[in-house]
Amino acid sequence: MEANYIQSRQNEQVKNLVKLRERKHRDRQSRFLIEGLREIGHALRAGFEITQVYICPEFYPAGGAHADFVEKTLQAARCPVTRLSTEAFEKASVREGPDGLIAVATQQNNVLSDLKLSQPPLILILEGIEKPGNLGAILRSADGAGVDAVILVDCVLDLYNPNAIRSSQGLLFALPIVSTDRDTLSQWLEAQSIPCLASTPDTDRLHWDVDYQCGIALMMGSESDGLSPYWLERATQKIRIPMTGQADSLNVAAAAAVCLYEAKRQRSLSKRQNKIYKKTSQASQT
């Protein structure tokens, strides 16, 4: 694949890549950066529009996967490709160890009515999350636990923050994610008849003492303040993770993982029991 070439760090395209590190420029352009083969691959598979890809083969890891990705995957997706000098790429990259691939993509603005939920649904609601690293880690856990959707409510954090994308390892693109306000979300939850499970240290009920097999929305609050009184008052049930040390709670990313995997454990166990019951019933009829 023949690519255009940019040598100078002062090139306007390179300057714009640097601008897209900031939320105000991402919002103005409705564009954002994706860095790394794995992350760009997830975005393509999720149907994100890639408007431009910048490559620097000097940074490709050994093995040939990156060259194949550019020659085959990007070409098949008809993504425009521009080659950067090492100096220009280093200026554009936000990573300490870049792998030679940066993409510019168009933002997607999903709304609650877009969500397609399984039955019974498992939804994760995050209120006021502030740190991109925590958001990324939570999204990895949500993907692994089989969450149907992640809803960010009154979130000060930009979903397309480069650090959120990096810490999620690109799984941000694999999940249906909606940003909304509390009134809109409250009305939607009521219309969907989905009970809310609020994580808070101020309750006696432990996280494993509730039934996750029904449709449920797990709610986690901000790193500093937890869930607001608004959501604590509206929760169907409140849960806490047992702590035996001096700390009263886990980091929000760790807490989300613990609760989500308890939901996955219960649901997986229920499926196995149903399979065993069906096999036993069939055997007794023969």
Instruction: Give the number of other Cβ atoms within 10 Å of residue 24's Cβ.
Output: 9
- Is 284's pLDDT higher than 90? no
The per-residue pLDDT for range 223-242, each reduced to its tens digit, is 889 999 999 999 999 999 99
**C-beta of residue 11 within 8 angstroms of C-beta of residue 88:** yes
The per-residue pLDDT for range 156-194, each reduced to its tens digit, is 889 999 999 999 999 999 999 999 999 999 999 999 999
Its pTM stands at 0.89
pLDDT confidence band for 249 (50 / 70 / 90) = confident
4-106 and 112-269, same CATH topology:
no
Q: Say what the pLDDT of residue 35 is.
A: 98
Fold classification of 112-269 (topology level):
Alpha/beta knot (3.40.1280)
* Range with the poorest average pLDDT among 27-31, 105-109, 150-154, 248-252: 248-252
What mean pLDDT, rounded, does the chain reach?
92
Q: Is 78 exposed, middle or buried (0-12, 13-18, 19+ CB in 10 A)?
A: exposed
pLDDT confidence band for 278 (50 / 70 / 90) = low
Per-domain residue ranges for the chain?
A: 4-106, 112-269
State the average pLDDT over residues 11-25: 97
Fold classification of 4-106 (topology level):
60s Ribosomal Protein L30; Chain: A; (3.30.1330)
What is the DSSP pairing of strand 31-35 with strand 101-106?
antiparallel
One DSSP character per residue, 225-242 reads: TBS-HHHHHH-SEEEB--
